[in-house]
Homo-oligomer: A and B are copies of this chain.
Amino acid sequence: MIEIPDKPPEGAQKALIEAGLLLFGQKGFDATSTRELAAKAGVNLALIAYHFGGKDGLRRAVVGEVARRLMAVAGAPRSSAGLTPAAALRRLQTILRGVAAFIGSAPEAGPMVNFALTELSRGGAATELIHDCFIGPKHAELSELWAIASGADPDSEAVKLSVFAMIGQVLYFRLGREIVMRRMGWPTIGPSEAGRIGDVIAENLRLLTQGEPR
C-alpha cells in the first residue's frame, strides 16, 4: 500500500526521496543502486532500510511524494459551472500552457515525468494511486471544460478520448525531448521554446473545440 504523506518529509528521509526521484527518473529503478542513492542523498546506506524498510519501500515513498507534488501543482479543482464556451476555452488554454511550461522547461520535471510514466507503463502499484488522486479528478475537470468549450457531452467517449489525446500531446514533448530538440534544431528546450510549444497546443485547442463537427 502506498500512502501520501500530508506533510513533506525532512532530513534524511527527504534527502533519500529526492535522490530516489532524481535517480529513478534518470536511470530507472533497477539501474540505481542503494549505495548510489545514499551517496546522492549524502546519507548513510543503512538509513534506506531504517526509514523505508528497503529499496522498494523507498520506491513507494517516492511514488507518494510524486502524487503529493502533482496534487499540489494541480491545485484544488475549480468548478466550471456557468462558464461561457469562450471562457472555458481560455481556462483550458491557460492550464495547458502552464503544464507545457512546467513539463517542457522545469528542471525537476524530467525525472518526475520519467519516473511517473515508467511506473505507469509497467503497471505497478503506482498506477492506481496516481490515477485516483491526480489523473482521475483532473481528467474529469478537463473533460468538463472541453465539453463546455465545444458544446459536446462531457461524458461522451469522444470528449474523454480527446482530453487524453491532449494530455499525450504535452507529455510527448518531455518524453521525446531529445528527438524534438534534434528535429527542431533547438540546442535546448528553455522557457522560450516551451512557450512556443504552449502556443501551438493552445491554438490546437481552439481549432479542436471551435471547429465545425461533421
A residues contacting B by CB (< 8 A) are 26-31, 114, 117-118, 120-123, 127, 130-131, 135-136, 139, 157-158, 160-162, 164-173, 175-180, 182-184, 196-197, 200-201, 203-204, 206-208, 210-211, 214
Contact A127 B168 (CB under 8 A): no
A214, B207: Cα distance in complex, Å:
10
For A160, the chain B residues whose CB sits under 8 A away are 183-184
Number of copies of this chain in the oligomer? 2
Given A123-B178, A161-B196, CB of A28 within 8 Å of CB of B27:
no
A27, B121: Cα distance in complex, Å:
10
* A162, A177, A183 pick with most chain B CB within 10 angstroms: A183
For A197, the chain B residues whose CB sits under 8 A away are 161
Contact B172 A167 (CB under 8 A): yes
A176, B162: Cα distance in complex, Å:
14
Contact B165 A172 (CB under 8 A): yes
For A172, the chain B residues whose CB sits under 8 A away are 164-165, 167-169, 171-172
Q: Which residue of B lies closest to A26 (CB)?
A: B122
Contact B179 A131 (CB under 8 A): yes
Q: A117-B121, A117-B176 are in contact. List 18 more A-B contacts (CB 8 A).
A: A26-B122, A29-B31, A30-B30, A118-B118, A120-B178, A160-B183, A161-B200, A162-B204, A164-B173, A164-B180, A165-B169, A165-B200, A167-B172, A168-B168, A168-B170, A168-B175, A171-B175, A207-B208
Given A172-B165, A172-B172, A183-B136, CB of A28 within 8 Å of CB of B30:
yes
